[in-house]
Amino acid sequence: MDQLKVTIIQSNLYWEDKLKNRKMFAEKINKFTENTHIFVLPEMFNTGFTMQAAEFAEEMNGETISWMRDLALAKNAVIAGSLIIKENNQYFNRFIWMQPDGICINYDKKHLFGMADEPKNYTAGAQHCLIEYLGWKIKPIVCYDLRFPTWCRNTTDYDVLLVVANWPSKRITHWDALIKARAIENQCYVVACNRVGLDANEIEHNGHSAIFDPHGEELYFTDEASIENIDLSKSHLQLLRRQYPFLRDRD
């Protein structure tokens, strides 16, 4: 498929209230009438970036996973975002990719944010993830992973680097620079979904969700709560890689 339609939902979040967040995102998604292939939600979309892992974790057969499965089927589109998952008595900040056919693919955040005590409350993932969907190769990462270019390096010829985050306003210039850099150095689309609003720790988020093409051109940007549909072009990506075959010389 040449055109991949991606819908970014940049939103405020209800702090540690899974029911309200699910209801809010369901309303936004159900009101959206454009055709799309993927809805992208922020990091920890059903709780906010809480360190109360034991209190708010779910298992893979829990309510939020079931909610994602039902919504993906109803909208005939992928629902993607991260949430807290308990598995083998450990807690993970887990990215969930839920397809309309019920197939679920997950990725556990590798780089945990020490400044917020995330490593004290969560277990780091150890495995890369490559999703193949509709003829596209998509690599998901979560927030702080974005700072580590070796982890993001395009050694598998992926087409899209998909980032979900709770990235604060205080360091938003870093976010802006890094998502553009990851697109250029990996010759891929970068789809980056952040949140907006003030959380319970008085940390402000101003979004800056964006999409960059493989040449580093900005296709989409917003600093407000919004839901937006953007087309990615496989032929455009392939043309740029033929014209500028930088990946051929990668380490």
Pick the catalytic residue from 43, 118, 139, 152.
Answer: 43
Q: How far apart are CA 248 and CA 114, in angstroms?
A: 35
Give me the pLDDT at residue 107, please: 99
Q: 11 pLDDT band (50/70/90 cuts)? A: very high
Mean pLDDT for 202-226 is 98
Q: How does pLDDT run across 151-200, given as a tens digit for each residue?
A: 999 999 999 999 999 999 999 999 999 999 999 999 999 999 999 999 99
Q: How far apart are CA 189 and CA 213, in angstroms?
A: 5
Can 109 be counted among the known catalytic residues? yes
Q: How does pLDDT run across 89-98, given as a tens digit for each residue?
A: 999 999 999 9
Beta strand 136-142 pairing with 160-164: parallel
Pick the catalytic residue from 143, 152, 188, 193.
Answer: 143
Pick the catalytic residue from 18, 75, 109, 110.
Answer: 109
Q: How does pLDDT run across 112-122, given as a tens digit for each residue?
A: 999 999 999 99
Structural contact between residues 165 and 195, judged by C-beta atoms closer than 8 angstroms: yes
Q: How far apart are CA 251 and CA 248, in angstroms?
A: 9
Q: How does pLDDT run across 43-57, given as a tens digit for each residue?
A: 999 999 999 999 999
Q: How far apart are CA 49 and CA 83, in angstroms?
A: 9
Can 104 be counted among the known catalytic residues? no
Q: 108 pLDDT band (50/70/90 cuts)? A: very high
